[in-house]
Structure 1
Amino acid sequence: MSLASPLTRTASQTLTEQLAERFADRIRNRLLAPGARLPSVRECARQQGVSPHTVVAAYDQLLALGLVEARRQRGFFVRQEAPPALRGREAVAARGAPAPRVAPAAAPVSTVLAAKPADASTLIRGMFHRRSDKPQPGMGVLPPDWLQSTFMPAAVRRVTTTAALQEFSLQYGDPAGDAGLRRSLAHKLAGIQLEVGPEQIVTTVGATHALDIVSRTLLRAGDPVMVEEPGWAVEFARLEALGMRVLPVPRRADGPDLAVMQRYCEAHAPKLFVSVSVLHNPTGYSLNPASAYRVLQLAQQHDFHIVEDDTYSHLASAHATRLSVLDGLQRTIYVSGFAKVLAPNWRIGFMCAAPPLLERLQETKLLATLTTPALLERALAWCIDQGQLRRHVERVRVRLDGARARAVKLALAHGCTLAAEPAGLFGWLDTGVDTDTLTQRMLDKGYLLAPGSLFHARRQPTTLMRINFATTQEAAFWKVFSAVRDKG
């Protein structure tokens, strides 16, 4: 059932069945996270335009399915654990690892407290399982029409001639990745002053795969890891699944909170720091040189590695401050990819590190995936070498600049304030209302938001939300947003 479809009595389904199906669909797809409270009976009846009796009957069906639980004098809540009928691969994955111990920045860092991780699948499922033809403000990628090109099909045709197809398909490729692509990447990285040879690069199945390889190589279950907060919901969930102790570091405009990092280092001896130095997700912040030098000093003094996720490098200035450039990959591991600006489904990423560490990273990749598909890697190398990628990125950046200006103007006109200076693909806005509740109300209008709670290690109510500038530059969304928010 479409998120935006109205409830209408039909011969095949009653209003009660339709409403129950709508909530069941959201729960199974994690659009309503475990522990989330359903609207009160009266509020739901008003929102959906049905009688309270219909809502009560629908909630009873959800209770019978084991999807929700009733709490006396508090209402109905999504069950924390999947019911027996739903247990299987998804339920096992959800239960797979013990919950991490998470230390909030505001609490004394001498004690690491148990906490619930952000529900990353809420964001992922909503982004990649489209339920409406409307532009989605919570999306993490550029719209498909922004990425359309003629050079990508041409690149694929070049590497899928009969001879090339047999060469790439009938034998395993180099475990480090296609040699041609690694040469192209080394040349490209010189443009941001990161001087590496092809032998210091290993390709991966996207940047997320690279981050996972780093974690599995350097960490063991229970190890403390510093992660910027707010931060990428998937990173919190991924580390939690590996059983790591997550230490949230508040992210500021100039970089991570150095005082909190210092206290973590003294109290917990963390093994790793995960950072998005440039065009940080979700705030758009970029690291300044003074903070970068201090972070590197802490890494040297307290013997931890830094993985620098430069996923948004294509949208940033070549002269932006990067830890890997300043450090020369002594304690840093540089990670990036091409999903954001070129082809999300090609899943090509890479990592760079000092030779001794790179051997260990490549060994982890080898044990997990053997190698990566050389066909698309060689096609990407052609796109880089011919200048097609560079020209494409220039067009995207110009288009994004215009979209950002329009989206910011509309957001301000509809009562939002900027929680961070707008930059890059994402905007970090204060809506003035609880965005978890607002997200559920906007689902009925066909829009999926990215509420601020998803970007914290411990999910907590917030009035912040992340928007994608490319999908929020039209007035239609903001009119609906304003009406739903103000209706309360």
Structure 2
Amino acid sequence: MLMKASSQSLTEQLAARFGERIRNRLMVPGARLPSVRQCAQQHGVSPSTVVAAYDQLLAQGLVEARKNRGFFVREAAPVRVEEAPPSVPGETFANGFSTMHFLAARRAQAPVNATALIRGMFHKISNKPQPGMGVLPPEWMESTFMSAAVRKVTSTRALHDFSLKYGEPMGDPALRRALAQKLAGINVPAAPEQIITTVGATHALDIVSRTMLRPGDPVMVEEPGWAVEFARLDALGMRMLPVPRRADGPDLDVMAKYCELHKPKLYVSVSVLHNPTSYCLTPGSAHRILQLANKHDFHIVEDDTYSHIAPAHAPRLCALDGLQRTIYVSGFAKILAPNWRIGYLAAPTSLVEQLLDTKLLATLTTPALLERALALCIEQGQFRRHAERIRTKLDAARSRSVKLAMNAGCEFVAEPAGLFGWVDTGVDTDALAQRMLDEGYLLAPGALFHAERKPSTLMRINFATTQEAGFWKKFGEVRRKM
């Protein structure tokens, strides 16, 4: 709350609040500030106080005034947009998807919004559970076996060996053997020689992109999809071709049109427990995707970040394809040790050396000590039992969260599964997210998960952090006032 007794005036306090959010990317470029009347009501101040606060933000260069529209967070410096590739004038795909959609996405520059959630991980706005976060609560991941494994691999001799020389460029051999066994359990045929360890799954995705693509290359991505992936590809200068994601998989008609018109080099997919919908690919869709890849000569990156909490025997493109046109990516940050930063990729033999060259240029190698500790956790069955416990807790949390969300008037537009729920709130979730920040909650509005920023009533919730009735009560109060 703004405090009249503070050494700062109400105007200064209000300007400082918005300024901090803008600098920490909790309010992103292009976001609209509340109207003067709305802001005055929300904070219990006079309209003149709000006008003065907005004037301070204008003077600081943080916002801009748009005639008859209001105040908006200033956009970043414009990025040069390439000319549209050859296309059929007026061509429209299924669901009203146009051939110019990907260029609109470039102009909208929504991918920078991904940093709002990332920064939220490091700039805690309160001690309350955060509905918009993409991680499990730290207490869920606590264990004794991790520290025991670290102690075991840091004996005097081992610590000397691990610390005083570079590790294997491909990654620790023991971990790659353990990962090969683990992948065999989900029918992905990867020998240790086809596996490269990375600094988390995002690093693995980056290695693939930098190896397979050049600036301006067209890449198919799923929409809604992972905001960080949109931002990463945009930063590399790729042309994103958003493919609508449905319950059974991507819109194959849109994919086929993109293949004919733009000759994409890559398709990035989260087949199992898709983020944010938690959809899982069906075998029929998987088969048709692989047919398109073979016909039009593109590769597929399958991001299986949520494999550890996924249903048994969920279809995966890499399993059906046998790592011919597919590259498998996963990691352990979501469920075990975020700060160990261990991820990996499994690739066709013909691509391994190229991918390794890219890793060498960026990181030389990855820390073998923690990789060896993780190998022990997998080999001794401790990681498997840990994952089973997490799944049990998540199932219970999901059941509670779904009931609370529905009682609060939300509607699930995708069947609840995995870590995330994709819900319709009935109100603009960009505006809702800003109001909930005042209550100490960071939301993930639907616009974050689209390549082209547009108003949305959807939001992604984390089932593990939305089990408290207090959040939903406050959510309902704020929503009713909108």
Q: TM-score, normalising length from structure 1?
A: 0.94
Aligned residue in 2 for 1:29: 24
Distance of 1:312 and 1:440 partners within structure 2? 29
SS at match of 1:382: helix
Q: Deviations over 1:352-377 (max 9, x none)?
A: 01111011111100111100011110
Amino acid at match of 2:319: V
Q: Deviations over 1:115-156 (max 9, x none)?
A: 323221112112332111000000100001101111111111
Is residue 116 from structure 1 mapped to residue 108 from structure 2 by the alignment?
Answer: yes
Q: How much does 1:440 deviate?
A: 0.3
Aligned residue in 1 for 2:477: 483
- CA distance change for structure 1 residues 110 and 52 in 2, over 3 Å: closer, same or farther? closer
Is residue 327 from structure 1 mapped to residue 317 from structure 2 by the alignment?
Answer: no
Is residue 272 from structure 1 mapped to residue 272 from structure 2 by the alignment?
Answer: no
- Unpaired segments ≥5 residues, structure 1: 1-5, 83-94
SS at match of 1:459: coil
Amino acid at match of 1:170: L
Is residue 406 from structure 1 mapped to residue 400 from structure 2 by the alignment?
Answer: yes
Q: Deviations over 1:59-108 (max 9, x none)?
A: 111111111111222211111137xxxxxxxxxxxx7x645789997333
Amino acid at match of 1:373: P
Aligned residue in 2 for 1:216: 210
Give 1:104-183 correspondences, 5 Å limit: 106-109=96-99, 112-114=102-104, 115-118=107-110, 119-183=113-177
Is residue 76 from structure 1 mapped to residue 71 from structure 2 by the alignment?
Answer: yes
Aligned residue in 2 for 1:416: 410
Instruction: Assess if the C-alpha contact under 8 Å between 1:98 and 1:243 holds in 2.
Output: no
Amino acid at match of 1:17: E
Distance of 2:102 and 2:52 partners within structure 1? 43
Runs of 4+ in 1 over 6 A off after TM superposition: 100-105
- CA distance change for structure 1 residues 100 and 167 in 2, over 3 Å: closer, same or farther? farther
- CA distance change for structure 1 residues 101 and 231 in 2, over 3 Å: closer, same or farther? farther
Aligned residue in 1 for 2:15: 20
SS at match of 2:440: coil
Instruction: Assess if the C-alpha contact under 8 Å between 1:127 and 1:140 holds in 2.
Output: no
The one of 348, 363, 369 equivalent to 2:363 is 369
Distance of 2:328 and 2:472 partners within structure 1? 37
Distance of 2:419 and 2:128 partners within structure 1? 18
Q: How much does 1:111 deviate?
A: 7.4
Q: Deviations over 1:409-455 (max 9, x none)?
A: 11111100011000000000000000000000000000000000000
Q: Mean alpha-carbon deviation: is it higher for 405-414 or for 12-21? A: 12-21
- CA distance change for structure 1 residues 165 and 10 in 2, over 3 Å: closer, same or farther? farther
Amino acid at match of 1:41: V
Q: Mean alpha-carbon deviation: is it higher for 112-121 or for 348-357? A: 112-121
Distance of 1:440 and 1:279 partners within structure 2? 28
Amino acid at match of 1:445: E
- Unpaired segments ≥5 residues, structure 2: 85-91
Q: Mean alpha-carbon deviation: is it higher for 309-318 or for 328-337? A: 309-318
Instruction: Assess if the C-alpha contact under 8 Å between 1:16 and 1:54 holds in 2.
Output: yes
Aligned residue in 1 for 2:56: 61
Q: How much does 1:110 deviate?
A: 6.9
SS at match of 2:96: coil
Give 1:43-54 correspondences, 5 Å limit: 43-54=38-49
Instruction: Assess if the C-alpha contact under 8 Å between 2:272 and 2:306 holds in 1.
Output: yes
Instruction: Assess if the C-alpha contact under 8 Å between 1:101 and 1:246 holds in 2.
Output: no
Distance of 2:129 and 2:255 partners within structure 1? 38
The one of 275, 279, 283 equivalent to 1:281 is 275
Distance of 1:143 and 1:212 partners within structure 2? 26
Amino acid at match of 2:439: K
Aligned residue in 1 for 2:89: none
Distance of 2:135 and 2:22 partners within structure 1? 24
- CA distance change for structure 1 residues 112 and 22 in 2, over 3 Å: closer, same or farther? closer
Identity level (%): 72
- CA distance change for structure 1 residues 165 and 443 in 2, over 3 Å: closer, same or farther? same
Aligned residue in 2 for 1:89: none
Distance of 1:101 and 1:372 partners within structure 2? 39
SS at match of 1:146: helix
Aligned residue in 2 for 1:3: none
- CA distance change for structure 1 residues 134 and 268 in 2, over 3 Å: closer, same or farther? same
Instruction: Assess if the C-alpha contact under 8 Å between 1:417 and 1:429 holds in 2.
Output: yes
- CA distance change for structure 1 residues 211 and 176 in 2, over 3 Å: closer, same or farther? same
Q: Deviations over 1:289-310 (max 9, x none)?
A: 0000000000000000000000
Is residue 354 from structure 1 mapped to residue 348 from structure 2 by the alignment?
Answer: yes
Instruction: Assess if the C-alpha contact under 8 Å between 1:191 and 1:318 holds in 2.
Output: no
Amino acid at match of 2:46: S
- Cα RMSD between the aligned structures? 1.5
- CA distance change for structure 1 residues 374 and 101 in 2, over 3 Å: closer, same or farther? farther
- CA distance change for structure 1 residues 378 and 260 in 2, over 3 Å: closer, same or farther? same
Is residue 38 from structure 1 mapped to residue 18 from structure 2 by the alignment?
Answer: no
The one of 197, 205, 216 equivalent to 1:203 is 197
Q: How much does 1:386 deviate?
A: 1.0
Distance of 1:423 and 1:399 partners within structure 2? 13
Amino acid at match of 1:106: G
Q: Mean alpha-carbon deviation: is it higher for 438-447 or for 51-60? A: 51-60
SS at match of 1:202: strand
Q: Deviations over 1:218-272 (max 9, x none)?
A: 0000000000100000000100000000000000000000000000000000000
Instruction: Assess if the C-alpha contact under 8 Å between 1:99 and 1:116 holds in 2.
Output: no
SS at match of 2:302: strand
- CA distance change for structure 1 residues 100 and 162 in 2, over 3 Å: closer, same or farther? farther
SS at match of 1:203: strand
Instruction: Assess if the C-alpha contact under 8 Å between 2:63 and 2:74 holds in 1.
Output: yes
Distance of 2:252 and 2:423 partners within structure 1? 24
SS at match of 1:133: coil
Is residue 344 from structure 1 mapped to residue 338 from structure 2 by the alignment?
Answer: yes
Q: How much does 1:36 deviate?
A: 1.2
Distance of 2:260 and 2:72 partners within structure 1? 40
Q: How much does 1:40 deviate?
A: 1.0
The one of 8, 13, 16 equivalent to 2:3 is 8
SS at match of 2:383: helix
